[in-house]
Amino acid sequence: MIKLRDIQNKFHNELTSIYSKEEIDNFFYLLTESYFDTSRLQLALNFEAEIDNPETIMTALELLKKEKPIQYILGETEFYGISLKVNEHVLIPRPETEELVNWIIQEFKDQNSELKVLDIGTGSGCIAISLSKNLPNTKVYALDVSKEALKVARYNAELNKVEIQFIEDDILKPKTKDQSPRFDVIVSNPPYVRVREKPLMKANVLDYEPHLALFVEDNNPLLFYKAICEYSKKNLKESGTLLFEINEYLGNEMLQLLKDYNFKSIELKKDIFNKDRMIKGVFSV
């Protein structure tokens, strides 16, 4: 038998050079709740609690030392109030993407007629599922090029009891053209990190998250945005809305891109860290 308090001390001793005290405590409590069904409050009330099977949490400690994200260790995360399964085939959803989802919900929550929404590059399905759960009378479609990502997204849709039509397609060479529904809203959080920005990123992202969903070449950073704008010209209704999560350094370029594609009422929005992070435009033929 080993006391959980001793394991927590071991976590601090071995992780303190990598993470803050608050992060280490958070990791420890997430793991004890997941592995031993013991909440933070229960530990506070009984800090002498013991376990006889420490192998799983010790394995997690070794993975944390290698900077593997806690979400991948647990196989799940929270996003906009819902639980999602995640693995190495999908990005871990970010708080900034929650802001994008909230912007869409606030924009369309009073919509009376049926809304058709397409999420391009759905990954874990976080955007599509959140919109489906929070916008009644909405038909949501979700597209991704990765078979493995779509498996995760389908599982998450079932987990959260929402109906979403999933589409396997490459937005850079889309098969779905005229036969697609005409959408009221198209939203995307596409790859937007330039290769030259890799040195700014932490090992937990670079070493574990799928590069297919993260990076674009330095000489063509708007590659996916251009392709989605082109797709939207054919598949977005007149006065339909296009929304993106964007690279914080490319706000002005994105403003110009949407103007070039004849979008009106363009709005560039900052996230809670005061970075240019979201943009929307209304399509005009």
Which contacts of 40-46 are long-range, i.e. CB under 8 A and separated by 24 or more positions? 43/4
190 is in an annotated binding site: yes
124 is in an annotated binding site: yes
191 is in an annotated binding site: yes
102 is in an annotated binding site: no
Which two structure tokens, joined as six digits, stand for 98? Answer: 């929650």
Which two structure tokens, joined as six digits, stand for 15? Answer: 């992780």
Give the DSSP letter string of 56-124. HHHHHHHHHHTT--HHHHHTEEEETTEEEE--TTSPPP-HHHHHHHHHHHHHHTT--S-EEEEEES-TT
Which two structure tokens, joined as six digits, stand for 225? Answer: 């945005």
123 is in an annotated binding site: yes
SS3 1: coil
144 is in an annotated binding site: yes
Distance CA 226, CA 257 (A): 8
- What separation in angstroms does the CA of 234 have from each of 11, 118, 275? 54, 13, 31
What lies within 8 Å, CB to CB, of 32 at 6+ separation is 4, 38, 43, 57
Distance CA 79, CA 10 (A): 30
Residues that constitute the known binding site for substrate: 189-192
Could you tell me which residues are annotated as the binding site?
Answer: 121-125, 144, 189-192
Task: Write out the binding residues for S-adenosyl-L-methionine.
Answer: 121-125, 144, 189
